[in-house]
Amino acid sequence: MDSTSGISHQSTPQTSVAGLRIGMALIVGCGYVIDQLTKRLAQTHLDVGSPVPVIDGLLWWSLHHNPGAAFSMGVGLTIGLSVLSLVVAVAMLGWVLPRVQTRLAAVACSLLTAGVLGNLTDRLFRAPGPFEGHVVDFIAVRGFAVFNVADICITTSAGLLVIWSILSDRKKRVS
């Protein structure tokens, strides 16, 4: 095993493995549930085209139905994005998460999984239909995209994976 990779087939003491698994399950579960609940609240209390100011001039609740990916890229690729999300979700749940061995990698991979599952749920079960569903976005920041909790999970995961990679690289150079 590469001791800095954070992913291995070798086992560690059961208590730490069990603790990591419980922590990952909690992060995935909480991230997913919070994403779905906030989207339901947005759908119930917001109207498309009628933003509600939260922090005047900076932050709004603004309901959007996004058929694409981040920043509404890939609008015509909804089915492809759905299939890609499904593949990533299966890979994370079936291969990556069971092999994670460091806390930082566990948090990052769990957040990624929660975010992918949250947006995948929209793509599978929202209008206009399976694999073509539009993702509910509702957090609008001035000069930036409209996004949701799943997007926050995915973006935070990306940042943590960069930090994990830098730390892993430093450990490699030291040893």
Q: Sort residue 140 into left (φ over 0), alpha (ψ -120 to 50) or beta.
A: beta
Q: Which amino acid is at 43?
A: Q
Q: How confident is the model at residue 126 (pLDDT cuts 50, 70, 90)?
A: very high
The DSSP secondary structure of 51-66, one letter per residue, reads: -EEEETTTEEEEEEEE
Active site positions, annotated: 137, 151
What is the structure's pLDDT at 45? 98
What is the structure's pLDDT at 72? 80
What is the structure's pLDDT at 9? 41
Q: How far apart (Å, rounded) are the C-alpha atoms in residues 100 and 125?
A: 30
Check if the beta carbon of residue 136 is closer than 8 Å to that of residue 42: yes
pLDDT in tens, 132-151: 999 999 999 999 999 999 99
pLDDT in tens, 71-81: 788 888 999 99
pLDDT in tens, 81-114: 999 999 999 999 999 999 998 999 999 999 999 9
Residue 30 has pLDDT above 60, yes or no: yes
